[in-house]
Chains A and B, each alone.
Chain A
């Protein structure tokens, strides 16, 4: 097991009576590109704020790069680049001046190389041409790029990017994805929060899913997908098919979405579905054999590797925005 770049135990944040984050146990392996998924308002940003020491946890603790937060913000944060809840800059300063200002706030950032590092960061996000322009005149996408540049001012061990592609055009989105990949290739752990599934699916190695303040799943993408696979059986004998599937130990009586259910097919056949996984570890061929042996007329059999999207709809009960 690799070291964890981010680790939380029972992390909880209560605002007055409202619980924003509830007993979060997060484990982000070092070197991973970790997708932090959840609908808007599920507590992602509050969690990130707690990880960065902006918000004090009501209970539980968080470790970032091996050190307790928020007690070690001063030693941890210089090693962390972050984009939190959108970029924010002083509109009356140029993009360059804004970056210099944030860089000056970091005690560990050497002054001698400030100009070089600022220029380089602007170049990496493709903003060199607008460096001297006042941020007030920037478009949303340019601000987003400037925010990324700010996170890249120093060499970082961990990047925390909250909705990094917000406001970017498709070209910008692709650039950000490749940027994240190149950073990850260099060994930087990238923690990307998003409500956009496709974004996560395309770049992440790991993911976690938040729903109303709780963590509902986390692991590698394969682990997450795996537990969401389904069996689809097309048959005119739905009752018998259900009994066989139940006998095999495929989950029954979970949620309506996850349990066995039948749908009337146009041809008069019924489509029986059951979730794969659970306690039983039945191979598809074994399921077919069992069905046939029981005299079920199998007219169609399919293992549906659930898309992450379907999986997350199942987990959160909400849909995700689909990337354009």
Chain B
């Protein structure tokens, strides 16, 4: 008699693959990035050396994929945007697929009742930019450049070349051609260079010494920056599979919401491969942009070629090239205006900056932007986004706070709501 329990133990062994498979995948998901990040040790550099290294970068051509993420901590708007039809359709590759159900169209929204809907859609676009992930391809080769924003089932392109620029939006089927008068541009450059040399000679003559070298200028700038910001080189890491230095900027100002800004600089070529802004006290960056893969080989020339396809609405736009005289004139005008700004009567018409450094607050006078500009859905959206406080409405994100006072003024800054209210009350 060999009665034995054939049930339980056997059944268990047969479930082993089912138990092992997810664990193996989980371990892989955790370990592979860990391994990729393991043991990066580039030669030590001071912040100044690192900046110099980055400035001396002579990369002429590259191609790669950029991913931009925003986690600004906006209030939840899904219900609202959903009601307006469409939703963040341009959020490249984030959502599932429901937005293209039925007659729902990703970008234009189902409402077509005039400007209110349009401005709501614009807001919607803005919000989709401020939340979620966007992917783009970048190609660079000498004077040719192309930015290819990969939206879901749509694409926006910017082509830059010596001949000018093309901006193409597949969703709108619209292309804009920006052309520059090359001769005028060359003339301007030559003239500017001449002016520059002239000014330099004059200055050197006045000072009786040669002008500081770029290195000296950098040191000076760093010293100045150091008053407000702690600049350091962080731990070496890896971006897009490449070893990078990490430049860390930490505001010394306690009033600002910005915790730190990091820039990843390729240890080999000195190209910045990633940047992120982290709010004070947060672990994850509120905003980040980074290469997910990059190659420094010259991309195929074909990627820079663009001819507007048939049926595309082409807008030709010639960019006027000012002469040096015009530039000087503009400069003078701007200076005059900035002096006029001090005049009390004109104050309301232009933006005012209160404070300085990281905790500076920008004030937009009434009627520039404001609640009055929105109606209908846009107003509802604004209402959902903002929070009522004494004296106005506050829109707070993890990095930026905006105060819209009841009298229509707008205050904004990378600061706390209290600082804005304070600025609104005291005008400082």
> What residues of chain A have their CB less than 8 Å away from a CB belonging to chain B?
9-10, 23, 56-61
Instruction: List chain B residues, Cβ under 8 A from A56.
Output: 6-7, 10-11
- In the complex, are the beta carbons of B3 and A59 less than 8 A apart? yes
Instruction: List chain B residues, Cβ under 8 A from A61.
Output: 2-4, 6
What's the nearest-Cβ distance from chain B to residue A116, in Å?
38
For chain B, residues 5 to 25, give those with C-beta under 8 angstroms from any C-beta of chain A.
5-7, 10-11
Contacts A/B (CB < 8 Å), 10 sampled: A10-B1, A56-B6, A56-B10, A58-B5, A58-B6, A60-B3, A60-B6, A61-B3, A61-B4, A61-B6
What's the nearest-Cβ distance from chain B to residue A49, in Å?
14
Give chain A's interface secondary structure class: strand
> What residues of chain B have their CB less than 8 Å away from a CB belonging to chain A?
1-7, 10-11
- In the complex, are the beta carbons of B2 and A57 less than 8 A apart? no
- In the complex, are the beta carbons of A59 and B10 less than 8 A apart? no
6 tightest Cβ-Cβ pairs between the two chains A and B? A10-B3, A58-B7, A60-B3, A57-B6, A9-B1, A59-B5
Query: How many angstroms from the CA of A113 to the CA of B6 in the assembled complex?
Result: 38
Query: How many angstroms from the CA of A61 to the CA of B3 in the assembled complex?
Result: 6
Give chain B's interface secondary structure class: loop
What's the nearest-Cβ distance from chain B to residue A273, in Å?
37
Given A57-B6, A59-B4, A60-B3, output 16 extra A-B contacts at Cβ < 8 Å: A9-B1, A9-B3, A10-B1, A10-B3, A56-B6, A56-B11, A57-B7, A58-B5, A58-B6, A58-B7, A59-B3, A59-B5, A59-B6, A60-B4, A61-B2, A61-B6
- In the complex, are the beta carbons of B2 and A59 less than 8 A apart? no
Instruction: Write the chain A residue with the least CB distance to B11.
Output: A56
Instruction: List chain A residues, Cβ under 8 A from B3.
Output: 9-10, 23, 59-61
What's the nearest-Cβ distance from chain A to residue B142, in Å?
64
Query: How many angstroms from the CA of A23 to the CA of B1 in the assembled complex?
Result: 11
Instruction: Write the chain A residue with the least CB distance to B7.
Output: A58
Instruction: Write the chain B residue with the least CB distance to A70.
Output: B6
Query: How many angstroms from the CA of A57 to the CA of B2 in the assembled complex?
Result: 13
What's the nearest-Cβ distance from chain A to residue B7, in Å?
5
Query: How many angstroms from the CA of A9 to the CA of B1 in the assembled complex?
Result: 6
Instruction: List chain B residues, Cβ under 8 A from A59.
Output: 3-7
Instruction: List chain A residues, Cβ under 8 A from B6.
Output: 56-61
Instruction: List chain B residues, Cβ under 8 A from A58.
Output: 5-7
Query: How many angstroms from the CA of A9 to the CA of B11 in the assembled complex?
Result: 20
What's the nearest-Cβ distance from chain A to residue B333, in Å?
85
Instruction: List chain B residues, Cβ under 8 A from A60.
Output: 3-4, 6
What's the nearest-Cβ distance from chain B to residue A269, in Å?
50
Query: How many angstroms from the CA of A274 to the CA of B404 in the assembled complex?
Result: 109
Query: How many angstroms from the CA of A23 to the CA of B6 in the assembled complex?
Result: 13
- In the complex, are the beta carbons of A9 and B2 less than 8 A apart? yes
Instruction: Write the chain B residue with the least CB distance to A10.
Output: B3
Instruction: Write the chain B residue with the least CB distance to A69.
Output: B6
Most buried by A among B4, B6, B10: B6
Query: How many angstroms from the CA of A23 to the CA of B2 in the assembled complex?
Result: 12
What's the nearest-Cβ distance from chain A to residue B292, in Å?
47
Query: How many angstroms from the CA of A56 to the CA of B12 in the assembled complex?
Result: 13
Instruction: List chain B residues, Cβ under 8 A from A23.
Output: 3
Query: How many angstroms from the CA of A60 to the CA of B10 in the assembled complex?
Result: 13
Instruction: Write the chain A residue with the least CB distance to B8.
Output: A58
What's the nearest-Cβ distance from chain A to residue B187, in Å?
82
Instruction: Write the chain B residue with the least CB distance to A14.
Output: B7
What's the nearest-Cβ distance from chain B to residue A309, in Å?
33
Most buried by A among B1, B5, B7, B11: B7
Instruction: List chain A residues, Cβ under 8 A from B2.
Output: 9, 61
Query: How many angstroms from the CA of A58 to the CA of B6 in the assembled complex?
Result: 6
Query: How many angstroms from the CA of A61 to the CA of B5 in the assembled complex?
Result: 9
Query: How many angstroms from the CA of A310 to the CA of B243 in the assembled complex?
Result: 90
Query: How many angstroms from the CA of A217 to the CA of B59 in the assembled complex?
Result: 92
Query: How many angstroms from the CA of A193 to the CA of B381 in the assembled complex?
Result: 75
Query: How many angstroms from the CA of A324 to the CA of B2 in the assembled complex?
Result: 43
Query: How many angstroms from the CA of A59 to the CA of B5 in the assembled complex?
Result: 5
Instruction: Write the chain B residue with the least CB distance to A63.
Output: B2
What's the nearest-Cβ distance from chain B to residue A14, in Å?
8
Query: How many angstroms from the CA of A56 to the CA of B5 in the assembled complex?
Result: 11
Query: How many angstroms from the CA of A57 to the CA of B7 in the assembled complex?
Result: 6
Instruction: Write the chain A residue with the least CB distance to B1.
Output: A9
Instruction: List chain B residues, Cβ under 8 A from A9.
Output: 1-3
Query: How many angstroms from the CA of A118 to the CA of B157 in the assembled complex?
Result: 65
